[in-house]
Amino acid sequence: MSTTTLAATHDGGSGCLICQSKNQQIQAKDEVIRAKDAVIAAKDDAIAQKDQALKAERELREQLQKQLKLASAGVKAKATKDKDPYHHPTKKASLVNIKSASSQAQEEKDALTIYIRNVTESITYEMLHDAFSIFGTIRTLNVVHPKMVGSVAKLSKVAQVLKYRPQEGKAPWDHAKDTLVHYDYIVLGGGSAGSVVASRLAEDPAVNVLVLEAGYSDEVLASRAPGLYSTIFQTDADWNYETVPQAHAGNRTMMQPRGKLLGGCSSINAMMYHRGPASDYDEWEALGNPGWSFKECLPYFKKSEGFNDPNLPADHPCGPLTNRVRYPGLETFDSQAHGTEGPWQVTFHHLFHLSSRFVAASQAEGIQFNKDFNGESTLGVNRIQTFIQRDGIRSSLSRAFLRSEDVVPGGKNGRGRVRVVFGADAKRILFQCKREVKMASGIEFLDHNNVRRRVMATREVLLCGGAFGSPQLLLASGVGPLPQPSIPHFHTLAGVGANLQDHLGLSVTFRARNRCQTLNQEYGAYNAMKSLFNFIASGTGPLTTQIGEGVIFVRLEDIAPEWVAQEKANGTYQERASGPGSPHLEIILLPGFVRRHGTILAPDFKSYYTVTALLMNPCSFGTFKVAPKTDKEGSVDVEGVVDPNYLAESFDARVLAQGVKFIRRIVRRLNNDPTVGGREVFPGEATVPDHDDRALEKYAREAAETYYHPVGTCKMGPASDPMTVVDNRLNVHGIERLRVIDASVMPKLVAAHTCAPTVMIAERAADFIKEDWSSSSRDARIQTTTIAEARL
- Mean pLDDT in consecutive groups of 10 residues from the start of the chain, 792 residues: 42 56 71 68 67 64 55 40 34 38 51 48 42 39 33 38 40 50 93 96 91 89 84 87 96 94 92 96 98 98 92 63 65 92 89 91 96 95 91 90 60 59 94 92 92 94 98 97 85 97 96 87 69 76 85 97 97 96 97 78 83 97 92 76 97 98 96 90 94 96 95 98 98 98 98 98 98 66 34 30
The set of residues, in sequence order, having a beta carbon less than 8 Å from that of 458 and lying 6+ positions away, is 182, 183, 184, 781, 782
Q: Which of 636, 629, 621, 602 is nearest to 723 (CA)?
A: 621
Q: Which of 403, 411, 434 is nearest to 208 (CA)?
A: 411
Q: For residue 688, how many other CB atoms are within 10 A of its CB?
A: 24
Question: Which residues form the domain of 114?
Answer: 27-76+88-149
The set of residues, in sequence order, having a beta carbon less than 8 Å from that of 331 and lying 6+ positions away, is 310, 311, 348, 383
Catalytic residue among 182, 503, 709, 753: 709
Q: Is the separation of the CB atoms in 690 and 703 below 8 Å?
A: no
pLDDT at 402 (0 to 100): 87
**Residue 292 domain flag:** yes
Chain centroid offset of residue 681 CA: 27
**Residue 174 domain flag:** no
Domain end call among 149, 164, 180: 149
Q: Is the separation of the CB atoms in 58 and 605 below 8 Å?
A: no
CA R_g for the chain: 29
Q: Which residues pair with 639 in a beta bridge?
A: 627
pLDDT at 72 (0 to 100): 44
Domain end call among 706, 722, 756: 706
* Domain containing residue 580: CATH number: 3.30.560.10
Q: What's the Cα-to-Cα distance from 675 to each of 420, 513, 542, 771, rounded to whole Å?
A: 50, 7, 18, 57
The set of residues, in sequence order, having a beta carbon less than 8 Å from that of 398 and lying 6+ positions away, is 190, 195, 218, 262, 263, 264, 266, 267
pLDDT at 58 (0 to 100): 64
**Residue 458 domain flag:** no
What distance in Å separates the CA atoms of residue 109 and residue 689, rounded to the nearest whole number?
A: 29
pLDDT at 160 (0 to 100): 41
Q: What's the Cα-to-Cα distance from 105 to each of 77, 98, 232, 548, 599, rounded to whole Å?
A: 10, 11, 28, 34, 20
pTM score:
0.79
pLDDT at 417 (0 to 100): 76
What distance in Å separates the CA atoms of residue 347 and residue 283, rounded to the nearest whole number?
A: 29
**Residue 757 domain flag:** no
Number of domains, the chain: 2
Q: Is 709 assigned a catalytic role?
A: yes
**Residue 330 domain flag:** yes
pLDDT at 504 (0 to 100): 97
Q: Are residues 281 and 144 in the same domain?
A: no
**Residue 175 domain flag:** no
Chain centroid offset of residue 667 CA: 27
pLDDT at 232 (0 to 100): 85
What distance in Å separates the CA atoms of residue 746 and residue 464, rounded to the nearest whole number?
A: 13
Q: Which of 318, 720, 388 is nearest to 549 (CA)?
A: 388
Helix (H, G, I), strand (E, B) or coil at 160: helix
**Residue 635 domain flag:** no
The set of residues, in sequence order, having a beta carbon less than 8 Å from that of 781 and lying 6+ positions away, is 182, 184, 458, 459
pLDDT at 349 (0 to 100): 79
Give the CA count within 13 Å in the CB-facing half-sphere of 182: 11
**Residue 6 domain flag:** no
The set of residues, in sequence order, having a beta carbon less than 8 Å from that of 122 and lying 6+ positions away, is none
DSSP-derived pairing of the beta strands 504-511 and 679-682? antiparallel
